[in-house]
Homo-oligomer: A and B are copies of this chain.
Amino acid sequence: MFEASEVGHEITKAHYEKALPKLREELLDAQYALSKNGKFPVIVVIGGVDGAGKGETVNVLNEWMDPRHIHTVAFAPPSDEEVQRPRMWRYFLSLPPRGSIGILFGSWYTDPMVDRVAGRTRRAELDASIQEINRFEQMLTDEGALVLKFWFHLSKKDQKKRLLEIDRDKKRTWRITKADWKQFEKYDEYYAVAEHTLRLTSTGAAPWIIVEGKQPRYRYLTVGKTLLSAMRKRLAEKPARKEASSRAAPIVRPIDHRDLLSELDLSTTLSPKLYGDQLERWQGRLNRLARDQRFQHLSVTIAFEGMDAAGKGSTIRRLTSALDARQYHVIPVAAPTDEERAQPYLWRFWRHLPRKGRLTIYDRSWYGRVLVERVEGFCSEVDWMRAYNEINDFEEQLTRGRTVLCKFWMQISKDQQLRRFQERETTRFKHFKITDEDWRNRKKWNHYQAAAADMIERTSTEIAPWTLVAAEDKKFARIKVLKTLVKRIEEALDQPLG
């Protein structure tokens, strides 16, 4: 794999100086066209061996193009805030917005490879990371990103030569540290791990481009030209005509119209007296759990979904009133801001993930894509169809480590919704809860129910099961939610710390 990049590629100075002005001009033109187009980001991943000119190449790209539209991010060891969230959190939040170029120096590849070289992980763990990376990059390219991954290579001989060269030069000797030499000793192990990783992550949509790092002129020109042609090609493409979104689910629905939702027993109720007792009981238990020492090692994410007027808001208030306000955050999912719109769909949910010892409660969630966006045709069928997998990946990452993820679907009957709508209309201060949109959505009741049933079927996984809540009786529903949450947290706390 790397042999082709050890042949000693060279570009003459004359050639370089002749090609450069035109290349810079064209790169700038492409960069402005990208900015004007504004439809996709360009994600440039920079990896490779030390001394092969990674850093210099990043600098050169910033010099050649307009640095104000380049997001250069170099990843240091994670901060405490970062360590306490899923591994991909900081990478996700560092993605460049559409219309701009992100240069990622160090990336989601660094830790899995370095950990493997250092023997901290086994081959199987590396391979699991590789699979995760492939799904992540698949999501990026599905979202429209142009992903270019450059690997800067040097033969062992050349790397040694280069390190010595810099070390001997008095003026530049500060550029080489002990860590660099230590790293060099692991050249062979690193070579093997890199070859394995690159081979398995060189996908059609996001292939690796291996660049011989020996001669600066050669590597700069290679990267510049590759970047230019990829951007040009992409900018010239007609936007892929996504299939017209269709209301008809492409998923085969049970022909007897029975599903998990229609079969849910909605007749369960709770008397006011029993409710009062149970409420204090489960709220007290939740409160004690949240103050448990062990809770500081746990994070909790809760998603609420359900038809309008199913009682999401009032249930959430029963949870939060049992908690210390400093521990939780309620995120009502609203129209995305422009910073959110310029990012992949899941970005706006990633940004609010809780750190350890905290809870985030989403009032409506990332499932919007397969519910309202699907039913109302706000996104194409291709987009919501792929969302099931993306969501499962997201939740898998979320639940790794000590995390509890609870997903509640609050189910009511169509009649009950009507009664609550009418009550909202007549009670003046509940008026704000009812809009024309709610009535419009109600007309599509069956479509929403079908979408919800599909959603539950496809995203109720062992690690992140859906809890279906019969919410016809609000009191019953609230206790069910509280109890479920308490039990899930207790289970997690009982797991040994490891």
Contacts and interface: CB of A to CB of B under 8 A. Distances in A.
Contacts of A288: 174
20 contacts: A25-B429, A28-B429, A55-B321, A58-B325, A59-B317, A59-B321, A64-B429, A79-B80, A79-B81, A80-B80, A80-B81, A81-B81, A105-B325, A106-B326, A171-B280, A171-B284, A173-B284, A175-B287, A337-B339, A338-B339
Interface string A9-45: 0000000000001001100100110000000000000
Q: Is the interface of A mostly helix, strand, loop or mixed?
A: helix
A195 B403 CA distance: 43
Contacts of A321: 55, 59
Given A21-B428, A28-B431, 18 more contacts: A21-B427, A21-B429, A25-B428, A25-B431, A28-B432, A55-B321, A67-B363, A68-B332, A74-B326, A80-B81, A105-B325, A105-B326, A171-B277, A171-B280, A172-B280, A172-B284, A337-B337, A338-B339
Interface string A37-68: 00000000000000000010011001110111
Residue of A291, A327, A428 with most chain B CB atoms under a 10 A cut-off: A428
A106 B317 CA distance: 19
B363 A68 contact: yes
A118 interface: no
Given A72-B330, A177-B291, A325-B72, A320 B59 contact: yes
Nearest to A74: B325
Contact of A432 (B32, B72, B363, B432): B32
Interface string A300-336: 0000000000000100010011001111001010100
A355 interface: yes
B174 A287 contact: yes
Contact of A174 (B284, B317, B433): B284
A68 B334 contact: yes
A229 to B, nearest CB: 17
Given A284-B171, A338-B337, A355-B79, A330 B32 contact: no
Contacts of A175: 287
Given A284-B171, A428-B25, A432-B66, A326 B76 contact: yes
A80 to B, nearest CB: 4
A324 B179 CA distance: 13
Nearest to A170: B280
Nearest to A66: B432
A173 to B, nearest CB: 8
A317 to B, nearest CB: 6
A76 B313 contact: no
A439 interface: no
Contacts of A91: none
Interface in A80-126: 80-81, 105-106
